[in-house]
Structure 1
């Protein structure tokens, strides 16, 4: 069986794309407000946040954040241990009598685009318009263009009933998950410990399971350069409202053990998670022969 290679064809986009992105230098409050509204899954004007994943970088969609200055909405892209790019519009909180004195009908709204470094050396917030480093400005502009692609793919999923999520959720049945977790391949193999998971390598995919009150399957994989990529955890959890079991997929963005809920609009990850699950399911069900020469490799996950 060949090594796992993800589908590199991009999911369809809607409304937004990198080639149509407004430059950060001329982005308006109105355009940003439309983008935030198109990404709203709660249909509420109340303060809330949604975290998505663009590769292994988190994207926080901020909707109507409130503080003493006023309210803000927008997007915050975090490159782990590198830097953070925040693109938000702020509506200042101004008392009505001051508005009346200044002949204004509504509070002033302005764009606030900031950058700061992360990791061992933290820097203060710097406004994008004040950056003197041209290569850095270009890099942030590229991030913004990629973010437009991400938002466009997410909008397509939301407008069409989240087809990639439904495709993945339909495959996560109680019977199939039980079959994979209790596969005979886990017996008699020298399993590697990864937190509360135990598993083995098959080709470039680490297939592991968690045996507990909430059993789960975890799949990690390495690319052709031997770099560990985002992994996924598949399980069934009890719905708080209905009491019924429902599918849940979490993303593991790096080699740390922390996992985060995968949203139904994270198109790239849903596409990869689906392909990865199909790859592993064939091995665990005995349909596809595993790559034995790599299953018993001596190195553990922490060494990759």
Structure 2
């Protein structure tokens, strides 16, 4: 097919136009990424600069005090670890089990679609609403009071929809050929789900668990709504203990008028980030262990 000089020139202009648009889009994406990274580094640098003065073992092991030089965060740290441990213990089995049923067992009916819509809506509900629900149901109706158990159950309500949705996405990413091959070898649905589908989906599930636990670790609104105290003179030692948490310490110290407490709040943010990174590293190791054996 013969192409005229005019058509060839038009095609050349068209290719240059597409190349220019592609370059502009790439530059805009890079600028957006660098802007976000710059803001993040600026915030982290500011927090580290203000908090490093107080960040030592005396601060970590100390008890709450009205004197900024003597104030510590041991009670808040232990309270957060109790909350996160119990929240993970409740939300992960419940969330993964619910997602397995919805994806592997439940038929595609109106009831299932209604449940899916409600789960998606619950994932976007403000956390303060869950705090009020936890206050009414766990603290008052079930008579759990302002205990760690009531706080953990409230945070479980906050993160449970996230765990369910993330687990469902991970299960959907498993190729159907794995299920079909397992059935062809005579395995039951339970054996296929437990030994084939669930291990293959574990890396994606762990990603959802990381996001859920990260959100629970930084939540202060539901704990304030359900009546968690901001001052406790000793670390909790059981699920019935009165509790407080790191986000509440940050909230309290940042609201003080004295500049020293603002620096204490920055130091607490650094500790909170360290705990979060440690938890994420543990989950990432589990995800890597399962992911390196999966090939499809």
Give the TM-score normalised by structure 1: 0.22
Give the TM-score normalised by structure 2: 0.23
Which structure has more relative contact order (CA 8 Å, sep 6+)? It is 2
Greater strand proportion: 1
Greater helix proportion: 2
